Amino acid sequence: MCLSKIWLNSTLCLLLILLTIFYYNTFSEDFILSKKNRILIKQSNISQRYPLPKQESYNQKLYPSQPSQPSTIQKLSQVTNKYQENKRLYSTTTTATTTTIRDPPEKLLYNRFLENIETVSSASTDGFPVDMIYCIFMPSRKKYAMSQMDQLKTQYKLVQAVTPYNLTKEDYNNLSATYDKRNLKERADLRVYNHTTKLPVALSFFLAYYDAYINNYETIAIFEDDIIFRANMSQITSAVSDFKLSTAEILYMGYCWTNCKFIGQKGKLVGPHLHSVPWSVRLVCNHALVMKSSLISKYMERKDVIYWKHTNDNTLDLFLKRTKTEKMITRREFVTQNRDEMGSTNANNFKMSGTCKFRK
């Protein structure tokens, strides 16, 4: 009987010791931290119940199968890599300008297509009364465009037009509403939805505007590659000179789809060649523009400068009306588009509305 009690007591003591060891192994965090080998055996259960202190190097050593959270340096590296990718997308191989991380997206976009801009010198000293002339051209029309620009007898810049082949679907999504169905809510003549030629036109004009902006030109002229001059050079030069002396910020030497009757009622003749235009009047077709630096700066510093929801000429027209910019036109069409001979590369194969004719 005595031996039996001794055996029972010994068994109970041993059982108590085993339960104590089991409890200690299972629930003691201190034991876990001090006994790494045993933790490795019970890795999954213990790590879920008692997560270890957030020490990255220790966790990596202790739990090699579990990925750690990225460090601050790793996050910074990811941001840098993303910037480098964007820089590759919006940069060009040219070394004419320097791109830095502080450059705005519009400059990166400009640099991407900088090689599209070519300066053509002139031996003539007569000059045209602007600081720079831009001609946006398609390669097939370059010879014709240069023959028209040479009549101005001054230095000019040729801007090779951006085409859909130069753009990716990501470009269309990032820079326009071309594939955004919400754009269908816009008026038919304003929208760009599913028209892949509209963004390239806007980008081509943007290159001219931004080049003038960063070069601080006081006055510029922009022509398209299919123009014909309907006035002699002395009349055109005189009109531009008169415009520079006025308070207006933009001169349309050619245009379309406007309300001539309202212009005649609310505007007035200015000198022998110009007519003022009420700010609320619509003016589109940008084949012959003269602009002052004050307008160029406002236009290039506007919100969403490199995102287009509307066609190029309507984007400009809506901005002019929103800012109540003072506008002028020539009293008759001085520059027109030679669509009968040149056709259209922008899906605008329709008969254009005529321009106004105001008597002196």
Q: Note the pLDDT of residue 66.
A: 46
- Percentage of the chain with pLDDT > 70? 71
pLDDT of 179 strictly over 80: yes
Amino acid identity at 132: M
Q: How far apart are CA 203 and CA 18, in angstroms?
A: 79
Count of CB atoms situated within 10 Å of the CB of 282? 17
pLDDT, one tens digit per residue, over 7-21 is 666 777 777 777 766
- Model confidence at 62, in pLDDT bands (50, 70, 90)? very low
pLDDT of 64 strictly over 50: no
For residue 333 the two structure tokens come to 């069409």
Structural contact between residues 215 and 133, judged by C-beta atoms closer than 8 angstroms: no
What is the DSSP annotation of 100-146? -TTS-HHHHHHHHTGGGEEEE----SS--SSSEEEEEE-GGGHHHHH
pLDDT of 188 strictly over 90: yes
Domains, the chain, with CATH or none: 2-62 (no CATH), 99-342 (3.90.550)
Q: Note the pLDDT of residue 316.
A: 98
- Model confidence at 23, in pLDDT bands (50, 70, 90)? low
Can you tell me the mean pLDDT for 180-199?
A: 95
What is the DSSP annotation of 5-64? HHHHHHHHHHHHHHHHHHHHHHH-HHHHHH-HHHHHHTHHHHHHHSPPP--HHHHHHH-T
pLDDT of 33 strictly over 50: no
Q: What is the pTM of this model?
A: 0.72
Burial class (CB in 10 A: 0-12, 13-18, 19+), 143: exposed
pLDDT of 257 strictly over 70: yes
pLDDT higher at 34 or 265: 265
pLDDT, one tens digit per residue, over 83-137 is 455 444 444 333 345 656 578 999 999 999 999 999 999 877 678 999 999 999 9
pLDDT of 32 strictly over 60: no
pLDDT higher at 120 or 353: 120
Least confident among 123-132, 159-168, 224-233:
123-132
Q: Note the pLDDT of residue 52.
A: 46
